[in-house]
Chain A
């Protein structure tokens, strides 16, 4: 079975450019989460959706970050304009339940480097 699929796996861009990260959750899962992982701050929850509706975006660091989930099988995380401090690995995860009192299934991550 296909797991959570993220793209791109790696992105290198210059400061000021727009970055779009993509995620396809596991079919049938009704909750989707975006996490950011850095050495300094560990795994941080940025935003999560339930049935395609954003529930809590309080973890989004700034207005430069936005996320959408137009349908049950696709979500995007956009950074515009990007800055060097946005460099991190961004994970998408999905789960069958909300709140997720069961397993979170993570994708393999998108490693972003902003020069």
Chain B
């Protein structure tokens, strides 16, 4: 089965509202959790990451929270803008994948003006 699960697969919000994307992982030894943003026709680009020794990290309008006990982490985007529209991927290092990054299935975020 999938080792990193991401929900929802699509998310539509009104400009100015908040967006939350959630991921769960299977390996309790995972220690690195990045989030990537992929714009149309481009490669994924890192927007924020968190390591297992912290529970939350914030960078302007984006924040990531991590719950190691429950093995889930979330991306929060506040005051969304049309340029936030993209596909977002979570990822985690998984021991059963040689500590390589395994990506979630992606969330297509649409911010309506």
Contact = CB atoms under 8 A, between A and B. Distances in A.
Interface stretch (A69-77, A79-87, A106-114): A106-114
Interface residues of A, number: 18
Nearest to B4: A42
A45 B31 CA distance: 19
A102 B98 CA distance: 15
A91 B44 CA distance: 9
A45 B100 contact: yes
Interface residues of B, number: 23
Interface string B27-60: 0000110101000011111100100000000000
A56 B98 contact: yes
B44 A100 contact: no
Contacts, number: 48
Interface string A55-95: 11000000000000000000000000000000000010100
B89 interface: yes
Contact of B103 (A43, A103, A107): A43
Given A48-B100, A100-B100, A106 B44 contact: yes
A106 B45 CA distance: 7
Nearest to B43: A106
B99 interface: yes
A107 B41 CA distance: 11
A93 B42 CA distance: 12
Contact of B43 (A42, A91, A99, A101): A91
Interface in A1-60: 4, 42-43, 45, 48, 55-56
Interface of A: 4, 42-43, 45, 48, 55-56, 91, 93, 99-101, 103-104, 106-109
Q: What are the 8 tightest A-B residue pairs by CB atom distance, in nearest-first order?
A: A106-B43, A99-B99, A43-B103, A103-B46, A42-B105, A101-B32, A106-B44, A108-B43
Interface of B: 31-32, 34, 36, 41-46, 49, 89, 93, 97-106
